[in-house]
């Protein structure tokens, strides 16, 4: 399902003292199966733009085409089957956990499929599958969503969208309010969903939510993991995580400190390690506004020096 914005303008409160032009001549194409970051400062129009993708808003002028669905400023051109569109385009708002309302996790996630007409049995099946995708096992099914941690609540809210099997998943500020570990788990989840064929659009005001990491793997145990972590910190290495599992220690660090991390390991007589530069980044960036053009370009230049990465940058103008 490709997405195309053509000469889209959007004005809030037109012909009033409070008139405000939120979108100005947006021309943008997002390919099917893409992984796109929509970047812009607070108030730049990001949420307004994505609200056009499932027809929560209609353009003041111009049109948005999602596959064969048309969202146009002209009523005669608009496709009428909005329900079908909203099943194809899943939108996870900022702080989606505030939208939880059912008495159990299972019922909350099953609400979406039931709303689209599937039987209760099938809705529960889809809910269970979606909860499995986000990493919540059957012990969560009968729990109250309001008793969960912040990260778990967000997973339940995301599962509620995944349960309707959208072709496009839009997430607005997905890591807002999460601690670093929960934020990393959330980003890992979206990468997994994308790898399974879903188009992902991540909306953020912070382009550095999507940085790459250097990864080093070597044989070891829990004691070695702790010693390595301590030495990396003493060596002033920007470490994201140091984990142990299946007889191996894995170090994840900022790519700019990759060589420094190697030197610390060699200083501990650890020389037999595998290295990789892994990117947790979308393959395409779209920016709203001109404020951070150079900052964005500098980051993408750094990204594109890594293997198997090609990050594309589009500035869609002053919005």
Per-residue buried b or exposed e for 5-38, using 16+ beta carbons within 10 Å of the residue's own CB? beebbbbeeeeeeeeeebbbbbebebeeebbbbb
Considering the candidates 152, 173, 229, 250, report the single residue annotated as catalytic: 173
Q: Which residues lie below 8 Å from residue 318, measured CB to CB, with a gap of 6+?
A: 24, 289, 290
DSSP 98: G
The phi and psi torsions of 261 (rounded to 5 degrees) equal -65, -40
Separate counts of helices (H) and strands (E) for the chain: 9, 14
Q: In a 3-state reduction of DSSP, which class is residue 250?
A: strand
Active site residue 102: no
User: For residue 106, with 0-12 CB atoms within 10 Å meaning exposed, 13-18 middle and 19 or more buried, which class applies?
Assistant: buried
Round to whole Å and give the CA distance between 155 and 158. 5
Strands across the sheet with 248-253, in order? Answer: 239-245, 248-253, 212-219, 274-279
The two most distant CA atoms of the chain are separated, in Å, by 72
**What positions carry a catalytic annotation?**
173
């Amino acid at each position: 399902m490709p997405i195309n914005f053509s000469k889209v303008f959007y004005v809030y409160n037109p012909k009033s003292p409070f008139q405000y032009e939120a979108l100005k001549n947006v021309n943008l194409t997002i390919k099917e199966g893409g992984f796109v970051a929509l970047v812009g400062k607070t108030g730049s129009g990001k949420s307004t733009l994505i609200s056009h993708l499932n027809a929560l808003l209609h353009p003041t002028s111009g049109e948005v085409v999602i596959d064969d669905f048309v969202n146009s400023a002209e009523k005669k051109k608009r496709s009428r089957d909005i329900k079908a569109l909203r099943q194809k385009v899943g939108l996870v708002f900022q702080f989606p956990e505030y939208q939880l309302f059912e008495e159990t996790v299972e019922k909350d996630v099953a609400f979406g499929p039931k709303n689209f007409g599937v039987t209760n049995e099938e809705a529960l099946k889809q809910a269970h599958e979606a909860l499995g995708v986000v990493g919540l096992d059957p012990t969560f099914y009968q729990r109250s969503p309001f008793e969960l941690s912040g990260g778990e609540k967000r997973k339940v809210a995301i599962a509620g969208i995944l349960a309707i099997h959208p072709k496009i998943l839009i997430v607005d500020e997905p890591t807002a309010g999460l601690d670093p570990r929960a934020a990393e788990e959330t980003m890992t989840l979206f990468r997994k969903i994308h790898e399974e064929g879903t188009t992902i659009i991540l909306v953020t005001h912070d382009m550095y939510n999507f940085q790459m990491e250097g990864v080093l793997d070597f044989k070891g145990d829990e004691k070695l993991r702790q010693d390595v972590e301590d030495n990396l910190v003493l060596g002033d290495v920007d470490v994201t995580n140091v984990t142990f599992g299946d007889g191996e220690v894995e170090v994840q660090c900022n790519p700019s400190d990759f060589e420094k991390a190697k030197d610390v390991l060699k200083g501990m007589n650890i020389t037999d390690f595998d290295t990789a530069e892994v990117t947790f980044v979308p393959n395409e960036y779209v920016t709203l506004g001109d404020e951070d053009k150079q900052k964005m370009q500098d980051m993408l230049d750094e990204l594109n020096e890594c293997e198997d990465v090609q990050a594309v940058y589009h500035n869609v103008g002053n919005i």
